[in-house]
Structure 1
Amino acid sequence: MNGDRWATVVGFAGALVVLAALVWVVGIEDILTQLRGIEIKYLLVILGVAVVWLFLWGMALRTVLGALDAPISVVMSALVFAGAVFSNNVTPFGQAGGEPVSGYLISRATDREYETGLAAIASVDAIHFVPSIAYALVGLTFVVAGAAEFGRNLVFATSALVALAVGIPAAVYFGWQFRYELEAAVVRAVTPIVRFLGRVIPRKSPPTTADIERRIEGFFAAIDRVAGSRSTVIEAIGFSALGWLALCTSLWLSLFALGHPVEFSAVLLVVPMGAVAGMTPLPGGLGGVDAVLIALLISTTGTAGGVAGAAVLVHRGATYVFPTVVGGGVAFALGARSRD
């Protein structure tokens, strides 16, 4: 078993420990009692909402790929995005760890170079940030306005949201202003690493410095093309915003199915803030995302721990387990086609 597989196994083991501890704290009996009362028809509707989410974010990816002259069908865009979700969900640090694999899957599906696929998924991930912060700010405004007590979890959510709303746009702005210097720095840092790996990997000849520079320059050029197309960015943000609404609807419906509907503004805050926990060193943020969702649901809506825990398990079953299974099949199929 290679190092990457060991990292995945250790990551899932850690995630299961976190999940077990979370369920124990919330109360396993309370959660099971709530889950027993849910009707199958609600589970099917929630699963359907998850399919809509995959479709919408797949369309955002398709829009970006269109700007990169890498056309892809509507159905394939949803399947490839499911493959990207799979790679995020089985690698540590979520999107940061899964993007290299996602870039490979996209390049196989579109028959384009790897750097084009990597630039496409990186652009889409950056675009998703815009509506998520907008929804979270709207949700926070309504939650704070109706909160009887500004508890610790709300303080944490507010602080984190302000830091993200200020920090990430600032990082993007300065990264764009100094993109050529950044590109040169990446070339200097990556070249010796790639050439070393090329020497030690059997049956692989080390790439030349010119090849590495060409590929890195191709990645930054693809990012430039996406960022320079206003219509592409606006259309992709639109699909992303609708996809975030589908994710929020999934959690809201999970609570409704348990007989505990809440204000929709609460999930507008909870879901984007929960996604931030995906950056933890756990596969897809498994355990970390769930803990944040439960804690914020309890603090913002007054929902009982057992109800919040059961709702989050249903929601994550539809938006974590389901796309991971589907995406795993897509990743396997694309890998098999590549080997052929």
Structure 2
Amino acid sequence: MGLRENVAGVVAGLVVVALLAVGVGWEQVLDRVLAADKPLFGLALLAGFGSIVAWGLSVYALVRPIPDAPGARRFGYLYLAAVFVKQAIPFGVAGGAAVLAYIISRYSDTTIERTLLATTVAGFLSTIASALVAGVGLLFVLLTRPVPQWILQLTVALAIALLVMMAVVTAFAIWPGILRRATVRFAGAVHPTAAALSTRVGAVVDPTKVRARLDRFVETGEVIARDPRAVVASFAAAVLAWVCTAAALSFSLAAVSSPAPLSVSGFAVTVSGVATAVPLPGGLGGVEATMSALVTVMSGDTVTRVGAGVVLFRVATFWLRLVVGGPAGLAVLGRYGPGSQALDELDEIEEGVGDAGPAGE
């Protein structure tokens, strides 16, 4: 995706945010944002930065054990660069595991199959952690105040989706051979057609190469499974990241005189994460609307104050990640060049296709 599309996505998201502000009274929202308590907003920024660090530790705990993984210092650069990319492109947050895996493998000696499994497991653990934080938050809210029926229905729907995902992941973890055989057979079935349409795609779905990649994928899973402490550490860091994110929202709301308990913030930040599926960078616009609605209903405060608090929260999270990750991305390019392993593998595939082409004709 090019720079023009990314810029267009950010502009579209800002338009959505502007329309939301107009709907609730943009002048009042702006006045409250400008008059926000500076020390409290500073704490929101600190909590937002803490969430970045905690998520990085969650991913590194699982990347570190895999063969040829980058060291802690290089991983820090790569992770921050990936944070920027995830936030800057549409669907970047939803596809965060793939973005992380690509950048880590491109700028280190490990392969993308190994990093993809590690980042996918980290993402799965983060989802479980978000469900834990949301569940605890909702429980505390239910003990103190009534909750609208639609929020309970939304929670049940998300819980069912999470259980289905957990069942599928568990099945693949217990019977990886089934997934491997099914994938290789599918690759063998589509390979002739794919090769006829595109030599590059045909090389990617070549059953032999697919089997080799899956072998590395499964091997990485076995490495992670042999290090349960890494899994526990990753999950604990993910929980801390969600708590930091919830704290950033609570501090942001308090900065505009709209205090909300951590339980409300914990539920709102996790459930509103569904809005990152909106095809805009960082779910821009969708997250603000969803979060504002949830906090307003659950806290009983005015839309104007809550809207101002959510704007500050997004500055302390989404925009902070862009600011922190952008220089890191430039530092990665300046320090490590255009990348290595992932591009080398692609070059090898293309050379193999080129060598085999004349013999087949």
The Cα of 1:169 is off from its aligned counterpart by 1.6
Please list, as runs of the form range in 1=range in 2, the aligned pairs for 1:114-153 lying within 5 A after superposition: 114-148=112-146, 150-153=147-150
User: How far apart, CA to CA, are the structure 1 residues paired with 2:129 and 2:99?
Assistant: 25
Contact (CA 8 Å) 1:91, 1:98: kept in 2 or not?
A: no
In the alignment, what sits opposite 1:250?
A: 248
Q: 38-47 vs 180-189, which deviates more?
A: 180-189
| AA partner of residue 317 (structure 1) | V
Q: 33-42 vs 190-199, which deviates more?
A: 190-199
In the alignment, what sits opposite 2:155?
A: 158
| AA partner of residue 166 (structure 1) | L
The Cα of 1:327 is off from its aligned counterpart by 1.9
In the alignment, what sits opposite 1:47?
A: 45
Please list, as runs of the form range in 1=range in 2, the aligned pairs for 1:26-175 lying within 5 A after superposition: 26-148=24-146, 150-175=147-172
Contact (CA 8 Å) 1:84, 1:99: kept in 2 or not?
A: no
Mark the runs of 5 or more structure 2 residues left unpaired by the alignment: 340-361
The Cα of 1:229 is off from its aligned counterpart by 2.8
In the alignment, what sits opposite 1:339?
A: 338
In the alignment, what sits opposite 1:199?
A: 199
| AA partner of residue 306 (structure 1) | T
**Closer, same or farther: CA 220–253 of 1 in aligned 2, 3 Å:** same
User: How far apart, CA to CA, are the structure 1 residues paired with 2:157 and 2:278?
Assistant: 14
**Closer, same or farther: CA 71–167 of 1 in aligned 2, 3 Å:** same
In the alignment, what sits opposite 2:173?
A: 176
The superposition leaves residues 19-60 of structure 1 with CA deviations (integer Å, 9 ceiling, x where unpaired) of 232222222122112112113333333222222211111111
In the alignment, what sits opposite 2:350?
A: none
User: How far apart, CA to CA, are the structure 2 residues paired with 1:55 and 1:231?
Assistant: 19
Q: Secondary structure at the match of 1:281?
A: coil
**Closer, same or farther: CA 188–41 of 1 in aligned 2, 3 Å:** farther
Q: Secondary structure at the match of 2:110?
A: coil
In the alignment, what sits opposite 1:310?
A: 308
Identical pairs, percent:
26
Q: 319-328 vs 164-173, which deviates more?
A: 164-173
In the alignment, what sits opposite 2:356?
A: none
User: How far apart, CA to CA, are the structure 1 residues paired with 2:196 and 2:115?
Assistant: 24
Contact (CA 8 Å) 2:84, 2:322: kept in 1 or not?
A: yes
Contact (CA 8 Å) 1:136, 1:273: kept in 2 or not?
A: yes
User: How far apart, CA to CA, are the structure 1 residues paired with 2:242 and 2:9?
Assistant: 26
**Closer, same or farther: CA 196–278 of 1 in aligned 2, 3 Å:** farther
The Cα of 1:269 is off from its aligned counterpart by 0.9
Please list, as runs of the form range in 1=range in 2, the aligned pairs for 1:260-275 lying within 5 A after superposition: 260-275=258-273
User: How far apart, CA to CA, are the structure 1 residues paired with 2:217 and 2:2?
Assistant: 24
Contact (CA 8 Å) 1:57, 1:78: kept in 2 or not?
A: no
| AA partner of residue 233 (structure 1) | V
TM-score (norm 2): 0.81
The Cα of 1:226 is off from its aligned counterpart by 2.0
In the alignment, what sits opposite 2:355?
A: none
In the alignment, what sits opposite 2:278?
A: 280
The Cα of 1:335 is off from its aligned counterpart by 4.1
**Closer, same or farther: CA 315–215 of 1 in aligned 2, 3 Å:** same
The superposition leaves residues 190-222 of structure 1 with CA deviations (integer Å, 9 ceiling, x where unpaired) of 674986797369xxx946543343123322332
| AA partner of residue 179 (structure 1) | P
The Cα of 1:314 is off from its aligned counterpart by 1.1
Alpha-carbon RMSD: 2.9
**Closer, same or farther: CA 99–129 of 1 in aligned 2, 3 Å:** closer
Q: Secondary structure at the match of 1:38?
A: coil
2:297 to 296, 299, 303: 299
User: How far apart, CA to CA, are the structure 2 residues paired with 1:306 and 1:158?
Assistant: 25
The Cα of 1:98 is off from its aligned counterpart by 4.0
**Closer, same or farther: CA 113–71 of 1 in aligned 2, 3 Å:** closer
User: How far apart, CA to CA, are the structure 2 residues paired with 1:36 and 1:27?
Assistant: 15
The Cα of 1:94 is off from its aligned counterpart by 3.5
Contact (CA 8 Å) 2:52, 2:241: kept in 1 or not?
A: yes
The Cα of 1:130 is off from its aligned counterpart by 1.7
The Cα of 1:233 is off from its aligned counterpart by 0.8
| AA partner of residue 211 (structure 2) | E
1:226 to 224, 227, 239: 224
In the alignment, what sits opposite 1:330?
A: 328
Q: Secondary structure at the match of 1:284?
A: coil
Contact (CA 8 Å) 1:104, 1:118: kept in 2 or not?
A: yes
